[in-house]
Amino acid sequence: MRRFEGKTAIITGGARGQGRSHALRLAKEGANVAILDIADQIDTVVYPMSTPEDLAKTEQELKELGAEVLAIQCDVRDQAAVEAAVAATEERFGGIDIVLANAGIMASYGERKHDIQAWHDSVATMLNGVYYLLRAVTPGLIERGRGGAICITGSTSSFRGVAYKTEMLNPGQMGYGAAKHGILALMRNFAMVLGKHGVRVNTVIPAGVRTKMIDNEFFGADLSDDAPGGWMANVMDHGPVEPEEITNAVTWLCSDEARFVTGQTLAVDMGTLLV
């Protein structure tokens, strides 16, 4: 029997990147999947974000795997939109078992990084949006009484500062770091309350992942090209990993194989946090 047969997963940022990879794996493991994605551009983000076409393509790929799918264009900065998406998922599938708070942006580089709006967009997407999602799914998870698993996408920036020049104290970079630090508090508090209901809450901590967030012309020109030696180094001396490597960890955290794992941060960082 597949690990998530008969279960339902809701995934933010599901149109591409890590979210898409997670969705495909959970579908292969038998889950019904709701994918939420802004599928639009945020003005303070310089690299091309996901599109409605990306969302539709991932939806089709999931259906081809035999999954029941609900694709929703949803901006996680909008609390009402998140609540509506959760309600629609619960109505369609009769409940939610797996929650992946994955949506993320990087407004740390590009011409708008110094705008204070870059701070607001970063925190609204990666901290407010996570809280809106967890707050919306919690009543149903408790009421249904069948347990569940929540996994939040953090970052090595959840534990350390990465600024190596004054310019990096910009609103976009600081908003990213603040949000990624903040989700650890959300994870630990929700884990403490939901544990007695059989709901586990954890955080996966990737280092560099080969998605459009860093795999673009702007990231190198604005950040990595002038970085000091050893910046974001790891003990395995490896470059960015593929999204599927993070999916492996998320899949385990959400499975019964990790049924007594909660309140934890699982770093898939090649030893970045050791350096």
pLDDT score for 217: 83
Answer whether residue 191 is part of any domain: yes
pLDDT score for 244: 98
pLDDT score for 45: 97
The domain that contains 133 carries what CATH number?
3.40.50.720
Number of other residues whose CB lies within 10 A of the CB of residue 250: 27
pLDDT score for 220: 72
Q: Is the pLDDT of residue 221 over 90?
A: no
Q: What is the mean pLDDT of the chain?
A: 96
How many structural domains are present in the chain?
1
163 pLDDT band (50/70/90 cuts)?
very high
Supply the range of the domain harboring residue 182: 8-274
Answer whether residue 53 is part of any domain: yes
224 pLDDT band (50/70/90 cuts)?
low
Phi-psi region of 237 (alpha: psi -120 to 50; beta: other; left: phi over 0): left
Strand partners, 204: 153, 266
Answer whether residue 3 is part of any domain: no
Question: What is the distance between the alpha carbons of residues 275 and 259, in angstroms, rounded to a whole number?
Answer: 31
Question: What is the distance between the alpha carbons of residues 118 and 170, in angstroms, rounded to a whole number?
Answer: 9
Answer whether residue 135 is part of any domain: yes
> Residues 136-156: pLDDT tens digits?
999 999 999 999 999 999 999
> Residues 17-72: pLDDT tens digits?
999 999 999 999 999 999 999 999 999 999 999 999 999 999 999 999 999 999 99
Question: What is the distance between the alpha carbons of residues 252 and 257, in angstroms, rounded to a whole number?
Answer: 7
Note the pTM of the prediction, 2 decimals. 0.96
Q: Is the pLDDT of residue 225 over 90?
A: no
CA distances from 148 to 101, 135, 196, 197 (A): 14, 14, 11, 9
145 burial via Cβ count (<10 Å: 0-12, 13-18, 19+): exposed
pLDDT score for 178: 98
Strand partners, 99: 10, 150
**Residue 250 corresponds to which tokens in the numbers above?**
């998320």
pLDDT score for 6: 95
Catalytic residue list contains 47 = no
CA angle (73, 66, 49) in 5-degree steps: 30
